[in-house]
Chains A and B, each alone.
Chain A
Amino acid sequence: MAEAPVAIAGLAVLSALGRGSEPQLAAALAGAAAFGPVDRFDVSNRRVGVAATLGPVGSLTEELAEVIEQACADAGLSAGQRAGTELLLAVHGHPGAAATAAGLAERAGLAGAGRVYIGACVSASSAVADAAVLIGRGAERVVVAAGYLVESDQFALFDAGQALSADGAVRPFSQGRRGLLLGDGVAAVVLESRAAAAARGHLAGTELVGWGRAGDAYHPCQPAPDGRGLARSIDAALRRAGVAAEQVGYVNANATGTLLSDAAEAAALRTALGEAAARVPVSSTKAVHGHALEASGLLELVITVLSLRAGKLPVNAGYLGPDDSCPLELILDSPRPVASPYALSLNSAFGGANTALLVRAL
């Protein structure tokens, strides 16, 4: 049986594409990448010195506070409604993370911090899935926030791991792809039970209708080549929603522009969607905003929602040509009109962790 839908009642976002929804959508649709030389910290001893950064930014805590406030305002939450709403936060793990979450909840007038997710690149999408379960249990609404601002330590680690693209571009599913690039991403969403949203007369426009999580059981830092965990995540998301593969009208892919991961994701889509995988439009917006690590799942969910609302699907930027290991229906050159209300947002992480979120435009 399908789960009760969860309204995406409010959202707020920033990335290197800009502050707010409009710049995200405009750049994603146009395939206008935001990568440039890093001047936020010293990169003189790094192999690669490029990332997608937003110019002047506040501290991560300040930027999180701002998007949480904006998302609550976008959802039209009263002080009383905020006071009954928990915050789930996705950030890089550090000993002060819980205190940060508690402070953010207090500052926004929320009930408190329910969880802090530190599971690398599936942190935010895990938080969204958990929020949906909590709402299924009876919570009226949950605020999910996530943030990563490009900083020196993670940048140095990705550089040391030779994960960064040496040609200054991210080329998901493309021949000649050379790796990922990091990017700023800070976002918040208000998830609310459909009944609670309707009761206060709030028209959300988009709902989270399915979610799934599964592991590869394959390797500490490489994806299973057959994409088995991601395929089962997609299966679970579709099953929860009672949606057939043929109904999926867009996939916002995890694709980071790395050789192994993109091929594994393509295999997962072929497994999970079957023949429909040859027809479903796919793009990875990491090609324009970069990889926002713990925040990537929420940034990409927001861009997926904005695209559905706009009726246009983002292009897969940075593309040089087909790769036999990625036989997908990529959106190239120009935005594709939305032909189905259902869209998947996929994320994968080290440790073979995978998530799939399924949204529907109303």
Chain B
Amino acid sequence: MSTADAFGMSTTSRLTVLSEYRWPPEPDRELPMLPGYVLSSFSPLVAAAAEGCLAGHYADPSAEPSRQRTAVLLVTAGNDVVSADHVRDKVAAGRRPGPLFFFQTAPNSVVGQVTERWGLGGPVVCISPVGDPLADGLAEADLLLEDGDADEVLLILAEQGDPAAGDGPGAADRAHALLLSAGAAS
């Protein structure tokens, strides 16, 4: 375990990092498919980061009562920009988007996939960063822990690559997940 000093934010407590995982774990690693999600890498990216982080701390995905107080906090500036662009193009052409995009475009949806698989019953919060994403995420995690509805927070930072900047599909996707609890590591 390590301790995050909240990166100079205005916080009232320190955070203990119980587990940490980054996607991709090595270059050119292919994202696993996520059943029910199509076209865009955003939800598989979030799910892969969450899986790697939680598997590093919990023995298995089965639900345990203690996880009822694990919150999930998703931080993303772009959200699922590939799905959003797809829907915008369909609508502009006067066509119907596919029904899967109805839930896929909501960032909470993939969080629900993670919470169902791992039995995480704490608050579900999604924010778009106003400053440094990690600092914003840690500050919000600290707030959730202080508020008292959660004992742990799974913080997931996820951004897709930018096709407009020449990024190939999924090539520049990045995610960083941290499982956090309140207080300094012992």
Residues of A at the B interface (CB closer than 8 Å) are: 42, 44-46, 93-95, 97-98, 101-102, 112-120, 122-123, 126, 129-130, 133-134, 137, 152-153, 156-163, 212-221, 228-229, 232, 236, 240, 349-353
Whether the pair B130, A114 counts as a contact (CB closer than 8 A) is yes
Contact of B101 among A44, A157, A215, A349 (CB under 8 A): A157
Q: Which residue of A lies closest to B69 (CB)?
A: A214
Bound state CA distance, A114 and B128, in angstroms? 11
| Count, chain B residues at interface, CB 8 A | 58
A98 in contact with B112 given A159-B96, A352-B124 (CB within 8 Å): no
From A93, A130, A212, A229, residue with most partner B Cβ within 10 Å: A93
A98 in contact with B130 given A120-B106, A220-B113, A352-B124 (CB within 8 Å): yes
A350 in contact with B12 given A163-B102, A215-B72 (CB within 8 Å): no
Interface positions of B from 41 to 78, Cβ below 8 Å from A: 63, 67-68, 71-72, 74, 76-78
Bound state CA distance, A212 and B71, in angstroms? 12
Bound state CA distance, A352 and B38, in angstroms? 21
Q: How many A-B residue pairs have CB under 8 A?
A: 185
B135 at the interface (CB under 8 A from A): no
Bound state CA distance, A212 and B118, in angstroms? 21
B103 at the interface (CB under 8 A from A): yes
B2 at the interface (CB under 8 A from A): no
Q: Which residue of A lies closest to B162 (CB)?
A: A95
Interface positions of B from 85 to 129, Cβ below 8 Å from A: 87-88, 90-91, 94-99, 101-103, 105-113, 115-116, 118-129
Residues of B at the A interface (CB closer than 8 Å) are: 12, 36, 63, 67-68, 71-72, 74, 76-79, 81, 84, 87-88, 90-91, 94-99, 101-103, 105-113, 115-116, 118-130, 136, 140, 143, 146-149
Q: Which residue of B lies closest to A90 (CB)?
A: B127
Whether the pair A215, B102 counts as a contact (CB closer than 8 A) is no
A102 in contact with B130 given A126-B125, A215-B115, A218-B116 (CB within 8 Å): yes
Whether the pair B96, A119 counts as a contact (CB closer than 8 A) is no
Whether the pair A118, B128 counts as a contact (CB closer than 8 A) is yes
Bound state CA distance, A46 and B136, in angstroms? 39
Bound state CA distance, A133 and B12, in angstroms? 12
With a CB–CB cut-off of 8 A, which chain A residues contact B125? 117, 119, 126, 213, 353
With a CB–CB cut-off of 8 A, which chain A residues contact B118? 217
Whether the pair B98, A353 counts as a contact (CB closer than 8 A) is no
CB distance from A209 to the nearest CB of B (A): 15
A45 in contact with B12 given A117-B125, A157-B105, A220-B109 (CB within 8 Å): no
Bound state CA distance, A274 and B76, in angstroms? 39
Bound state CA distance, A273 and B124, in angstroms? 23
Bound state CA distance, A98 and B129, in angstroms? 7
Bound state CA distance, A228 and B72, in angstroms? 17
Q: Which residue of A lies closest to B136 (CB)?
A: A115
Whether the pair B149, A212 counts as a contact (CB closer than 8 A) is yes
Whether the pair B63, A217 counts as a contact (CB closer than 8 A) is yes
Whether the pair B102, A161 counts as a contact (CB closer than 8 A) is yes
A217 in contact with B121 given A115-B136, A350-B103, A350-B109 (CB within 8 Å): yes
**Given A158-B102, A160-B102; 19 other pairs, CB 8 A cutoff:** A93-B107, A117-B126, A119-B127, A130-B143, A130-B147, A156-B90, A157-B97, A157-B105, A160-B96, A161-B102, A215-B112, A215-B123, A215-B124, A216-B121, A217-B115, A219-B112, A221-B103, A349-B106, A353-B125
